[in-house]
Amino acid sequence: MIKETITCLGLILALWVQPLYAQDVHFSQVELSPLTLNPALAGSTSAFRGIAMYRSQYGSFATPFQTITASLDGKLTSSLKGANSSLGAGINFYNDRMADGHFTQSTVGVNFSYRLKVSRFSGVAIGLNTTFGQCATNPGAGQWGTQYDGTAFNPLIPNGEAFYEQNFAYFDLGVGGVYSYQTNNGKTTNVADKGFQVGFSAFHVNNPRYSYYNSSIQTLPIRYSAFVNGNIDIISTQGVLQPAIYYQRQRKSNEILYGVTYKQIIVKPSWETTNIKEIAFSLGLFSRFKDAIVIRTGVNYGALTAGFAYDINVSRLSLVSNFKGGFETYIKYDVDQFVRKKLRVK
């Protein structure tokens, strides 16, 4: 009885913190879901990039909410020598499963981008996102207040929920833009590399229908997203500081995630041969304002990077979560991280 009471209290607090209308999934490692962050990031920096990530949360007091996401993106015209512009494309997928499967959401998105080089070290990109989504629910799998007979839950009592349909599909549109600046002094001199990105995007700009009820049709509200991130090489060391801040707003809900990651390079990659690949590890500390402290870590070898993040819950929900939050793990393959030109020795 105590466990059930705690679970109910936790869910009430969770819903209190996040209002009862359609919202997008979120991640603690936002940049590892680049195509849900900004469609202009599709193929803007990499010849080919593949990322897969898994997130689980609320498992400390209820059946965990689980999210799986994966994306592939790259440059379509990277082989055009001397070109000041390039095209990029990407596809992303995610599946969000709530608790015992009472609610699931799956989406497949196709993204296109156009990048224009405006100076030696900087460029701008614009992107378009098109997404097909599907939502499904199983009312019979849940426990409803109307099925409480005064002493206990009774599944034989009708739940009284008149769903017009138990699944529906929708088509979605999003747009975005990114400005990037990145030096490459490290190729030829001892001057530290530095760079940053600034981006803004809007998803669900067509306000797609998003409702199981015919009598109260609801639309998916626009989600606005903005970010600034950077990398600063530390002179005379093999360390890199990577500060970042991400902001998202959807109707009255706001989310601010900010912090810094320190990357320590153990073996520097060679610009002359592909035989010497970068080996490094990273450790980051972030905060999701009024919600969680996020600890992140990762290791990479050449094109391959893997890591995880853990949320320490500090919101009102910590009363029942015991400060336990969400767990994320990922694996990334980025071709541009290891491609080097071999020099011919005469």
Predicted local distance difference test score (pLDDT) of residue 244: 96
| Domain formed by 2-337, architecture | Beta Barrel (2.40)
* Higher per-residue confidence, 275 vs 95: 95
**Which of the residue ranges 76-80, 197-201, 247-251 would you say has the lowest mean pLDDT?**
76-80
DSSP β-bridge partners for residue 241: 232, 262
117-121 contacts, C-beta under 8 A, 24 or more apart: 117/84, 117/85, 121/181, 121/182, 121/183, 121/184, 121/195
Residue position matching structure tokens 């607090």: 13
Residue 243 scores a pLDDT above 70: yes
d(CA 297, CA 330): 11
SS3 assignment for 157-189? CCCCCCCCCCEEEEEEEEEEEEEEEECCHHHCC
Phi, psi (degrees; rounded to nearest 5) at 93: -140, 140
Q: Which residues contact residue 188 at a Cβ distance below 8 angstroms, ignoring those fewer than 6 apart? A: none
Q: Which of 304, 336, 300 is nearest to 46 (CA)?
A: 336
Can you count the helices (H) and strands (E) in the chain? 3, 14
Predicted local distance difference test score (pLDDT) of residue 293: 92
pLDDT class for 5, splitting at 50, 70, 90? very low
Four-CA torsion 11, 14, 15, 21, nearest 10 degrees: -120
Residue 236 scores a pLDDT above 80: no
Residue 7 scores a pLDDT above 70: no
Neighbouring CB atoms inside 10 A of 302's CB total: 18
d(CA 188, CA 270): 12
Q: Which of 138, 141, 207, 140 is nearest to 167 (CA)?
A: 138
Predicted local distance difference test score (pLDDT) of residue 282: 96
d(CA 210, CA 223): 14
* Higher per-residue confidence, 199 vs 183: 199
* Higher per-residue confidence, 253 vs 90: 90
Whole-prediction pTM value?
0.81
The token pair that represents 107 in the structure block:
């989406």
Phi, psi (degrees; rounded to nearest 5) at 224: -100, 140
Cβ–Cβ under 8 Å, residues 116 and 44 = no
The token pair that represents 61 in the structure block:
């007091």
pLDDT digits (tens, 9 = 90+) for 284-308: 999 998 888 999 999 999 889 999 9
Q: Which residues contact residue 342 at a Cβ distance below 8 angstroms, ignoring those fewer than 6 apart? A: 272, 273, 274
Residue 120 scores a pLDDT above 80: yes
pLDDT class for 221, splitting at 50, 70, 90? very high
Average pLDDT over residues 89-116: 88
Cβ–Cβ under 8 Å, residues 7 and 15 = no
Average pLDDT over residues 239-253: 93
Share of the chain above pLDDT 70, in %: 75
Average pLDDT over residues 260-280: 82
Any idea where the domains of the chain sit in the sequence?
2-337
Q: Which of 320, 288, 273, 330 is nearest to 67 (CA)?
A: 330
d(CA 160, CA 147): 9
First to last CA, the chain: 80
Report the chain's mean pLDDT, rounded to a whole number.
Answer: 81
Share of the chain above pLDDT 90, in %: 45
d(CA 54, CA 33): 11
Residue 191 scores a pLDDT above 70: no
Most confident of 16-25, 172-181, 305-314: 172-181
Q: How far is residue 320 CA from its own chain's centroid?
A: 26
